Structure 1
Amino acid sequence: MMINENSGLLEVYRIENTGTHTRMHSIPVGVRPDMIMPTSDCRTVVFAVEGNAYNNGSHFIDPEGAIGIIRFPHADGIAGSYQYTQLDFRKFNDAWQDLVSRGARFIYRENNNKFSNDVEPEYITFNTDESIAYVSLQENNAVAEVDLITLNITAIHPLGFKNWTESKLDVSDKDKGINIRQWPVMGMYQPDVIKFVTIGDKSYLLTANEGATKDYSDIEGSGGFNEASRVEDLTIDDPYHETAHVPFWASQNGFFWNLQTEKNLGRLVVSNLEGKHDNVYDDLFTFGGRSISLYDTSTFTQVYDSGSDVEEKIAQYQPDLFNANGKPESSIVSKTKDARSDARGPEVECLAVAKDGDSTVIFVGIERPGLIAIYSIPGSDVNAIKFESLWSGIPKTNETYQSLYNQRVISDVGLDDLRYIPANESPNNKPLLLSTASTSGTVSIFEIKGLTGPIGSGNVR
């Protein structure tokens, strides 16, 4: 049987005052469309065509990733005809070496794969006047910039790497506790959710640096491709080799003989593609930044990264939930602590942004196991960002997840998305935060208290 994965659809419905809905359009858009983002007037809809790999029944296919744009140009809006434009990444196929040298990634190169096929658009955000869309290319550690006036992908911005010798993280699920420290590892930021924000008179891109891997090992025809390996399974270079940064660090920091043990760096999941020569590794690159970052959109220079703050605040305020998995349901909550330290840690997944007078409030959704951290930026100085609080929907840690589900007291496990609703758009005239979580299967609504400035600002994006 031939499988046709090109049948992804965007369906457009009109909601009637009676509560019924009418399907107006069913538009074929390509392979596995992901996020949808309408402009404020709903006349333009932008969506990410992720183009995940698959086997069609006879051979392996890695389809092109793309940005889809649908416009409803007529006066009757979605009731009228539409114009569909699909933007591919083919013009970057000859530029991939430059992009990779600046910190982007070209991951699956087998089967004569091209960069435009490897790209997987993930999340979309608009600038203030909705003339530009920024699209995260999560696995590729980059952000695409799209001109919505000329319908053109104008740039791919590589995000570079985070030096974990200058910050801290917990790298092992077998070290019997919380151990946040420096390690000779580079982090690939790989944001999922991104948000365009204006702070003072400058514009920034705010990123939630979750991390992601490509594993095609269960797709026939891929050659068993999986880019992830544990450090204990890799061959580390001789410390006297002039480019051998990892073994040199180990020899200088007391880990010459035991760097790759399970209680140290051995359990950490890293890329088996970067940092090597002849299958011997000088550098190690792990997935995700375990942080939030801010990039100046005029230069795409990173002006802020939260470093190890997310892990450190969870360790301080919710130690039983530190890098916990949120499952299986039969497990006692506290027994799942530290289970994700070897992978992407807390997995900083999603974001929402509110304005409180001259201050900016950032809500950070943490997927593992499900927490919301709140930060604020007073005025226009992004380096003055400060941690405010940490919330969890898991009220008890000495019982099983299933017991908490049975009591109906648990929520927000496996956080996926956050949306802020300002007071002037809220049904109860109070600022609200919405969250969705896939593991607990919950939607939560929070009233935001403690805002001191005008609370009618912000938007539901």
Structure 2
Amino acid sequence: MKNLYLGAGVILAATLTACGGDSNQPDAVVDEAVRTPDSIKLSYVSRYSTGSFDASAAEIPAYDAASQRLFVVNAEQGELDVLDLSDPENPVKIDAISVAGIAPGAEVNSVAASHGLVAVAIEAEPKTDNGFVALYQASDLTLLGSQRVGAQPDMVAFTPDGTRVLTANEGEPSDDYQTDPEGSISIVDFSDPSNPVVSTADFTAYNGQEESLRNQGVRIYGPGASAAQDLEPEYIAVSADGNTAWVTLQENNALAKVDIATATITDIVSLGEIDRSVEGNGIDASDDDEVINIRTFAGVVGLYLPDSIHGYTVNGKTYLVTANEGDARAWGEDNDDYWGEEADAKVVPPVACEPDASQGFVEEFRVKHLVHNSGFARRCGDDLPPQLSALAEGALLDPAVFGYCGATAGDSGDCREDDVLGRLNITWTMGYKTDVDGQPLKFMANGSQPEGDEVGTHIMYDTLYSYGGRSFSIRDDSGDLVFDSGDAIEQFLASDDCKLGSERSIDCADYFNSGHDEGNAIDSRSDAKGPEPEGLTIGQIGDKHFLFLGLERMGGVLVYDITDPAAPVYQDYLNSRETWDVAPEAGNLDGYGDLGPEGLVFISAADSANGKALLVVGNEVSGSTAIYEVQSVFSE
């Protein structure tokens, strides 16, 4: 597979979509009656601002065409903001839907709209309890019915006929890891809204098959967790005929296929990884050098770990588009008991570092700390996961793989330097050498095999697994990869063709891989997940399908023509963040624009109030809902 970025034309070619949004069906929003454009571009129209900074006050939008209303998740308030979009240039908040009457202390996670109805996913307090889905009339906000679903419903979607609602019940563990509910997908029949009927597609049939799933590449790794507890549904796409759903299992790097009629999981597919040693799949791996340095690394792969997924149909076949954000499990990271008290040999008697592994689970670790020649103990009480400490006394890099950056048998060489791989965040839970039974092979600290009575103390990594594809992928309905954008997104952000601000007057390269809550922060996200593609939606205009892809950290929306699933073509990039050199903060958002795109919804020209196709973006950090016009471009 090869991905190209071609100068001013900016074409992606190949030889080979937290949380809800629109109705999320293949071809859910179609402008078939209009002329097919040669290309499209975005232009900024307006925004509605809550004035709340970094409080998830504008996360997920959904649109009802009949009432010309936007419904926007305001997690901070635990409610749904209702905006009048009859004048797209002046969106106005006219009401709000509170879910306090359904569940005290509840939090709104997601929203979808279809057939004049609005479905809301509601997380209970605590999040490990079963949540709810509620159905409202879009025109007058009447509550039509509600139903209990699984734990932590994180995303909601309608079937095409509007009679059933699906929720992805993520079932994350509690922060102290004392409670770990099962993940599931709820299917709620709202044919009679006052008497909804719920069916549950769960993963209990896979309990006892954990090792088989791991061998297939599915990540099952929560301490002591069964498959049903470990699998965490994130986002749902529903087929055009309403018979099948595909659900991203983000932390598991997998996709579940669901038979809706029987509420049954019919398949779990591993999504594999992206090989960072291959040209076109490179990354900028350091946040410390403050320069753009996208390159390949042998022995490094990226786990796709997708968030959003949407489907569309081409020539009768369903294709699935994923935003490969990446996500690490980090529970108990703020719990001192989990980490233990930092050792201090100067204290009499000496203070021992005694972490409590039962109080959390953190899988993320920097390469420089993982393969330090002094071993793990030096990090105890700081950032050393106790589960890693129990695994070995230290870690080595396989010199046969990492010799290119100076690794030898017992020394990581220059590989752990900040401007090489040292700053990169990876998961320590995989990538080390194992025996035929899957148990870690142990080596001596100098990298040699134990002999005689010697006992190995160190594990050896021949692969480093980083978070996220930093890309979008297109797969067929079996989950097989058709296209992946590789490093094209980072290459574009580094190019002279990329501009920031609604007037497109700021060079992207000056703020490459910045964070959404930072100022003057070039390269700050390169060690983590880069620009972090997270939210997406698909719209059809004439005979063409277009992808709108939000970059959570860098911000902005990338647009691609995906009519040919094997060869997407770049169309445009619009980033309506206006201020980049000074960090935003609460009470000082004037002039900053939009920060942290989360959910997106496409509104066809036929459904919009002004007869123009629109894109609506919920921005969780700036607490703003942005409206863009989708302009068709014709050669004649």
Equivalent in the alignment of 1:103? 217
**What is the CA-CA distance between 1:99 and the residue it aligns to?**
2.5
CA distance in 2, matches of 1:407, 1:214: 31
Give the conservation status (yes or no) of the 8 Å contact 1:216–1:222.
no
1:141 aligns with 2:253: yes
1:245-260 equivalent positions in 2, closer than 5 A: 245=401, 247-250=402-405, 257-260=413-416
CA distance in 1, matches of 2:312, 2:175: 40
RCO higher in structure (CA 8 A, sep ≥6): 2
**What is the CA-CA distance between 1:345 and the residue it aligns to?**
0.8
Q: Any idea what SS the aligned residue of 1:129 has?
A: coil
- Which whole-Å deviations, capped at 9, do the CAs of 1:242-263 have from their partners, x for residues lacking one? xx53x245359xx973111111
Runs of 5+ unmatched residues, structure 1 = 454-461
Equivalent in the alignment of 2:417? 261
Structure 2 residue identity aligned to 1:324:
S
Q: Any idea what SS the aligned residue of 1:170 has?
A: coil
Equivalent in the alignment of 1:159? 271
Match of 1:326 among 500, 516, 520: 516
1:122-137 equivalent positions in 2, closer than 5 A: 122-137=234-249
Give the conservation status (yes or no) of the 8 Å contact 2:150–2:185.
no
1:314 aligns with 2:437: no
Aligned length: 427
1:30-429 equivalent positions in 2, closer than 5 A: 30-54=150-174, 60-73=178-191, 77-78=192-193, 80-108=194-222, 110=223, 112-166=224-278, 167-184=281-298, 185-217=300-332, 218=334, 222-235=358-371, 237=396, 239=398, 244-245=400-401, 247-250=402-405, 257-276=413-432, 277=440, 278=442, 279-297=459-477, 299-316=478-495, 317=498, 318-328=508-518, 333=519, 335-377=520-562, 379-380=563-564, 382-402=565-585, 406=588, 408-429=590-611
Runs of 5+ unmatched residues, structure 2 = 1-124, 339-356, 372-394, 433-439, 443-458, 499-507
CA distance in 2, matches of 1:10, 1:201: 32
CA distance in 2, matches of 1:396, 1:117: 43
For residues 86 and 199 of structure 1, do their structure 2 counterparts lie closer, same or farther at Cα, with a shift above 3 Å needed?
same
For residues 5 and 150 of structure 1, do their structure 2 counterparts lie closer, same or farther at Cα, with a shift above 3 Å needed?
closer
**What is the CA-CA distance between 1:428 and the residue it aligns to?**
1.9
For residues 451 and 350 of structure 1, do their structure 2 counterparts lie closer, same or farther at Cα, with a shift above 3 Å needed?
farther
For residues 45 and 451 of structure 1, do their structure 2 counterparts lie closer, same or farther at Cα, with a shift above 3 Å needed?
farther
**What is the CA-CA distance between 1:387 and the residue it aligns to?**
1.7
Structure 2 residue identity aligned to 1:340:
R
**What is the CA-CA distance between 1:310 and the residue it aligns to?**
0.6
Q: Any idea what SS the aligned residue of 1:424 has?
A: coil
**What is the CA-CA distance between 1:172 and the residue it aligns to?**
0.6
**What is the CA-CA distance between 1:156 and the residue it aligns to?**
0.8
Give the conservation status (yes or no) of the 8 Å contact 1:234–1:281.
no
Q: Any idea what SS the aligned residue of 2:416 has?
A: coil
**What is the CA-CA distance between 1:3 and the residue it aligns to?**
6.1
**What is the CA-CA distance between 1:33 and the residue it aligns to?**
1.3
Q: TM-score, normalised by structure 1?
A: 0.86
**What is the CA-CA distance between 1:424 and the residue it aligns to?**
1.8
1:11 aligns with 2:193: no
Equivalent in the alignment of 2:631? 449
**What is the CA-CA distance between 1:130 and the residue it aligns to?**
1.4
Give the conservation status (yes or no) of the 8 Å contact 2:157–2:237.
yes
Structure 2 residue identity aligned to 1:440:
S
Identical amino acids, percent of aligned pairs: 33
Once the two structures are overlaid, the 10-residue window that deviates more, 338-347 or 91-100, is 91-100
**What is the CA-CA distance between 1:7 and the residue it aligns to?**
4.3
Give the conservation status (yes or no) of the 8 Å contact 2:127–2:151.
no
Structure 2 residue identity aligned to 1:376:
D
Equivalent in the alignment of 1:459? none
CA distance in 2, matches of 1:161, 1:445: 35
CA distance in 2, matches of 1:222, 1:39: 41
**What is the CA-CA distance between 1:53 and the residue it aligns to?**
0.7
For residues 360 and 5 of structure 1, do their structure 2 counterparts lie closer, same or farther at Cα, with a shift above 3 Å needed?
closer
Give the conservation status (yes or no) of the 8 Å contact 1:102–1:160.
no
Structure of higher CA gyration radius: 2
Q: Any idea what SS the aligned residue of 2:523 has?
A: coil
For residues 152 and 3 of structure 1, do their structure 2 counterparts lie closer, same or farther at Cα, with a shift above 3 Å needed?
closer
- Which whole-Å deviations, capped at 9, do the CAs of 1:203-237 have from their partners, x for residues lacking one? 21111000001111246773442011100012354
Give the conservation status (yes or no) of the 8 Å contact 2:165–2:188.
yes
Q: Any idea what SS the aligned residue of 2:288 has?
A: coil
